[in-house]
């Protein structure tokens, strides 16, 4: 099947976004956490068999259940592998620094990959990784930037925006949207627009968080950064990057469609880029892949000698050639 084929059906009106299916599955909401997760698993399975003709809101719905499960992370956060336990409602900060999610900007973006534009992007402040070379460090390192619109306010705005001619999707990004996952689910349970949902993320999140996104997200627009844990530990501080992020890519491909971005770093062709291409060819052959060549030294890149310079044309051409040889669908 062609990568992003179902997403393109949603854009054309031939299929419905997954979050509307999740709103159409009625659930019980048991009092115990174990019971709620058990009901969640059963309801997600039911959502996969729902035809587009059967989509109509239910209450309480699977999306309501997802939002209730996610809400607890505002009091003791374990959305990502740092599992910091921060009481974010009380202003306590964990690794990402995010208390209540803040929207820095929201606008129609024309700079994403061609199948995605025009994309309406919602940018959150804060990030749970600390990449030395971050190209959006003004968002990722400043979690107190922006405003705190209520979920109801943003849902209403997004429903209106979705009616604009040509808008193809709602694109949740940052920083990173991981700390805002409970808020995103609250917004979606109040939305009604027939529009695709994009999760634009570094994918360093817990497996349980991936389960909360299951049946809600249509396209995972991912950053796959490092080909080994040594580079990841040195450049973003994550000790278990490969196991976590690769696992989540495989889960994402089982849940929806995946467009993988890899920002090529200078001096990291052999240790990161080529191994990632091989891994994608073996594990995500159905994904669309964007090998990005627009690296520029930003943020703390000058602390690392190999990152002082732009990517060379030779490095990028070698990566493209290897990706084509391995049969990747380049976009």
Q: Three-state SS for 106?
A: strand
Residue range 26-43: mean pLDDT, rounded: 95
Domain membership flag for residue 273: yes
Domain membership flag for residue 20: no
- Confidence class for position 54, pLDDT limits 50, 70, 90: confident
Can you give the pLDDT at residue 165? 80
Whether residue 60 is preceded by a cis peptide bond, meaning omega within 30 degrees of 0, is: yes
Q: What pTM was computed for the model?
A: 0.97
- Confidence class for position 216, pLDDT limits 50, 70, 90: very high
Is residue 1 scored above 80 in pLDDT? no
Domain membership flag for residue 168: yes
| Number of structural domains the chain divides into | 1
Per the listing, tokens 């393109």 go with 8
Is residue 164 scored above 90 in pLDDT? no
Among 67, 7, 69, which Cα is nearest to 37's?
69
Average pLDDT across the chain, whole number: 96
Domain membership flag for residue 256: yes
Domain membership flag for residue 8: no
Say how far apart CA 223 and CA 293 lie, in whole Å.
14
Say how far apart CA 55 and CA 21 lie, in whole Å.
6
Is residue 19 scored above 80 in pLDDT? yes
End-to-end CA distance of the chain: 15
Domain membership flag for residue 19: no
Residue 170 exposure: Cα atoms within 13 Å on the Cβ side? 28
Can you give the pLDDT at residue 73? 97
Domain membership flag for residue 37: no
Say how far apart CA 223 and CA 148 lie, in whole Å.
26
Residue range 78-83: mean pLDDT, rounded: 98
Q: Which residues contact 49 (CB under 8 A, 6 or more apart)?
A: none
Q: What is the pLDDT of residues 168-200, one digit of tens each?
A: 999 999 999 999 999 999 999 999 999 999 999
- Phi/psi for 302 (5° steps) reads -75, -5
Domain membership flag for residue 249: yes
Q: What is the pLDDT of residues 236-253, one digit of tens each?
A: 999 999 999 999 999 999
Question: Structural domain of residue 163, as residue ranges?
Answer: 69-330
State the CATH number of the domain containing residue 219. 3.20.20.70
Can you give the pLDDT at residue 284? 97
Residue range 117-122: mean pLDDT, rounded: 98
């Amino acid at each position: 099947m062609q990568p992003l084929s179902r997403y393109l059906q949603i854009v054309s009106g031939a299929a419905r976004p997954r979050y509307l299916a999740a709103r159409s599955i009625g659930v019980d909401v048991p009092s115990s956490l174990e019971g709620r997760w058990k009901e969640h698993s059963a309801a997600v399975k039911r959502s996969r068999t729902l035809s587009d003709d059967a989509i109509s809101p239910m209450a309480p719905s699977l999306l309501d259940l997802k939002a209730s499960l996610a809400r607890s992370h505002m009091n003791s956060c374990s959305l990502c592998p740092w599992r910091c336990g921060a009481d974010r409602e009380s202003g306590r900060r964990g690794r990402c620094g995010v208390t209540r999610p803040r929207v820095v900007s929201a606008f129609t973006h024309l700079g994403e990959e061609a199948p995605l534009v025009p994309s309406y992007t919602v940018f959150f402040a804060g990030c749970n990784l600390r990449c030395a070379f971050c190209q959006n460090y003004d968002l990722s390192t400043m979690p107190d930037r922006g405003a705190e619109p209520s979920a109801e306010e943003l849902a209403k705005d997004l429903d209106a925006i979705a009616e604009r001619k040509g808008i193809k999707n709602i694109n949740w990004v940052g920083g990173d949207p991981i700390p805002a996952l409970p808020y995103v689910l609250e917004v979606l349970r109040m939305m009604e627009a027939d529009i695709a949902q994009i999760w634009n993320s570094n994918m360093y999140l817990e497996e349980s968080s991936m389960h909360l996104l299951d049946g809600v997200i249509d396209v995972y627009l991912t950053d796959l950064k490092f080909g080994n844990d040594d580079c990841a530990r040195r450049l973003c501080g994550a000790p278990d990057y490969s196991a976590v992020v690769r696992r989540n890519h495989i889960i994402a491909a089982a849940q929806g469609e995946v467009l993988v971005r890899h920002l090529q770093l200078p001096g990291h062709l052999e240790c990161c880029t080529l191994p990632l291409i091989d891994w994608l060819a073996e594990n995500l052959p159905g994904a669309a892949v964007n090998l990005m060549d627009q690296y520029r030294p930003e943020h703390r890149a000058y602390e690392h000698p190999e990152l002082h310079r732009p990517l060379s044309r030779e490095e990028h051409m070698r990566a493209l050639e290897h990706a084509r040889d391995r049969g990747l669908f380049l976009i």
